[in-house]
Chain A
Amino acid sequence: MNQVLFQPLAMIASMYLFAEKGGGGAERLAFNPAVLIASLYVFALAAFLGYQVISRVPPLLHTPLMSATNAISGISLIGSLVIAGSRYDHHQMLASILGCAAVTSAMINVTGGFLITDRMLKMFRKKEAVKPEGHK
């Protein structure tokens, strides 16, 4: 149940779909079908939204779009953080090292991605206010 409550959307979906099961002591790790269904809803809606939003990005900004989505998908950092910092009964060392590697690679994308996107977007200007006379 913990996992279902963990997500507002999953909660709503589970209220509709699995109302009779409410309060059940589902095992923490076993997969709860309500979570899967809610996740599929989120996936489908995000795909639809993504299509709508991204097809409006002009070709002018396709390179910044790519680096921006790259930076955003660095959100896998939050999953990596939990793995790198949690305590386990076994395989502690291996899990921590894998987690640490995941934190590193995700962090590269988060810092690098947002910084370079900003650097690029800074360069796109309409008509320069001051004509770069002394341009190198």
Chain B
Amino acid sequence: MSNAQYFLEATYLIASILFVLGLKSLSHPDTARRGMIMAAMGMLAAVLGTLFHPDIHNYLYIAIGLILGSSIGIPMAMVPMTAMPQRTALSHAFGALAASMVGIAEYVIHGANMGGVKMGALGLEVMLGSLTVTGSLVAAAKLQEMMRGTPIMFKGQHFVNLGIFLGMITCLVLWLLNPTTAIYFYIVVGLAFVFGVMLVIPIGAADMPVVMSLLNSYAGLSSAATGFVLGNNVLIIAGTLDGFSGFILSILMCKAMNRSITNVLFGGFGAVVGTETGVAGSMREVGLDDVAVQLAYANQVVFVPGYGMATAQAQHAVRELGNILEERGVAVKYGIHPVAGRMPGHMNVLLAEANVPYSQLYEMEQINPELPSTDVAVVIGANDVVNPDARDNPKSPIAGMPIIEVDRAKSVIVLKRGKGKGFSGLENPLFFKSVTGMLYGDAKSSLTNLAQAVQKV
């Protein structure tokens, strides 16, 4: 082993340590930025070290890849924050694509000479990687609304999916038994691509936080498997960290919806037409000036944002209204449900972008005890996460899902585009309660108008 190799291993070890420290720093927003810069340094060290790898003779393809990758990656980092979910789905696709390409290349180069265990890892890597590529692309298309967000279901879908899955596993086993028969390997790759599409099309846009986390997990595990194939520890460590992060997030998201992962993946939620809950009464529409007076004389106002805030790009308008209320001495807080939006933490990022200090962003468990003493709760484009049926009606499809209990506040204002049902097609009894006032219209212009009206009070 030459000095160069020791040097290379040292950079990998440093990178591994810096990655862990970087993720650890994410436990608090004050330390997070510095920590991630350290992690980026670790990455730089590992990459620079690898450029001096003794096996590398030709830098042409490396240079092409690095330049091409940077020129796509940098613009992808400049997207508006509202496009974060799509962007993240795309980056899962790229991460998984890199892993499957490495796997395919390893097989092309070494063929059957790798030994059983390594081939097993390689098969797993390529399978997970390929299904994540297409799965993430479908998820990105749904989030970008290039595809309709409602679940795509057809008769016998589960059997078709099961068939594809079993076919994939059978070919993988056949390939492991006959390593020289390359055709099995390529069938596995092809079926994995199809399986990724089939896995994501039946999932509704409202369930995207879970799917995003799962795809994150698959992409990471496929990187970890690459580490097994190449016998490289930093790859195993980074891939495992990524895989587990996604896994933990998907469990958290499922808990926040009181559903199991199988239910999310195979339930086709959102395709069901809302069961009649027999909600009585009518919705009470309120005027802008009424709301402005309520807000202006409140002691505490809690904003509860949902995906509607993101689509209306209303985060800056919320902040402006919040500023004006604070200047009048109103305590302003934001209650954020874990699955509000289309990816974990989606609402937090949007509000942070609009300059809301994170000390005003409250998690569901923190804000719920405060709601009974809140004068006005303002729901901005959120629906299921504030649906009291989840708590009160055991027959509701979302029964048991923890919610932000805005109906316990003294008054609730719901900003809503129109009178129709929400995304999931469920009736929301909150809208019919006597404490609730509905303010129809585009959330952004409603909020801007409210801000002006409050100033006149």
Query: Which of A's residues lie within 8 Å of B, judged by CB?
Result: 2-3, 5-10, 29-31, 33, 35-36, 39, 42-43, 46-47, 49-51, 53-88, 91, 94-128, 131-132, 135-136
Contacts and interface: CB of A to CB of B under 8 A. Distances in A.
Dominant SS among interface residues on chain A: helix
Most buried by A among B115, B212, B316, B323: B115
A76 to B, nearest CB: 5
Interface stretch (B67-75, B156-164, B388-396, B440-448): B67-75
Contacts of A77: 43, 47, 50, 98
A13 to B, nearest CB: 11
Interface of B: 1, 5, 9, 12-13, 15, 19-20, 22-24, 26-30, 32-33, 36-37, 39-40, 43, 46-47, 50-51, 53, 55-59, 61-62, 64-66, 68-70, 72-74, 76-77, 79, 81, 84, 87-88, 91-92, 94-95, 97-99, 101-102, 104-106, 108-110, 113-118, 212-213, 216, 219-220, 223-224, 226-228, 230-246, 248-249, 252, 316, 319-320, 323, 336, 338, 343-346, 348-349, 352-353, 355, 357-359, 361, 363
A87 to B, nearest CB: 5
A17 B96 CA distance: 34
Given A59-B336, A98-B101, A68 B22 contact: yes
B106 to A, nearest CB: 7
A124 B22 CA distance: 17
Most buried by A among B66, B213, B224, B320: B66
B233 A7 contact: yes
7 contacts: A50-B244, A67-B91, A73-B242, A83-B106, A101-B65, A124-B29, A128-B357
B242 A59 contact: no
A77 B45 CA distance: 12
Contacts of B5: 6
Given A61-B29, A69-B23, A104-B69, A39 B50 contact: no
Contacts of B226: 76, 79
A83 B56 CA distance: 8
Nearest to B352: A123
Nearest to B251: A55
B131 to A, nearest CB: 16
A112 B26 contact: no
A29 B242 contact: no
A7 B231 contact: yes
Given A91-B109, A111-B69, A64 B349 contact: yes
A50 B98 contact: no
Dominant SS among interface residues on chain B: helix
Nearest to A31: B115
Nearest to A116: B77
Given A46-B237, A66-B245, A82 B23 contact: no
Nearest to A102: B101
Contacts of B99: 76
Most buried by B among A42, A50, A76, A77: A76
A108 B69 contact: yes
B29 A121 contact: yes
Contacts of A71: 39-40, 43
A54 B36 contact: no
B91 A109 contact: yes
A62 B101 contact: no
B217 to A, nearest CB: 10
B84 A63 contact: yes
Nearest to B129: A76
Contacts of B81: 120
A91 to B, nearest CB: 5
Given A72-B238, A79-B235, A124-B29, A105 B61 contact: no
In order of increasing CB-CB distance, the 9 nearest A-B pairs are A107-B69, A103-B65, A62-B345, A31-B115, A111-B73, A85-B56, A115-B77, A112-B73, A62-B344
A42 B77 CA distance: 32
A108 B351 CA distance: 26
Given A54-B244, A60-B348, A70-B216, A39 B228 contact: yes
Most buried by B among A73, A112, A136: A73
A60 B352 CA distance: 10
B240 A46 contact: yes
B244 A47 contact: yes
Nearest to A114: B40
Contacts of A121: 29, 32-33, 36
B70 A111 contact: yes
Nearest to B39: A72
B98 A106 contact: yes
Contact of B245 (A2, A36, A65): A65
A99 B30 contact: no
A98 B104 contact: yes
Most buried by A among B26, B58, B224, B230: B26
B128 to A, nearest CB: 12
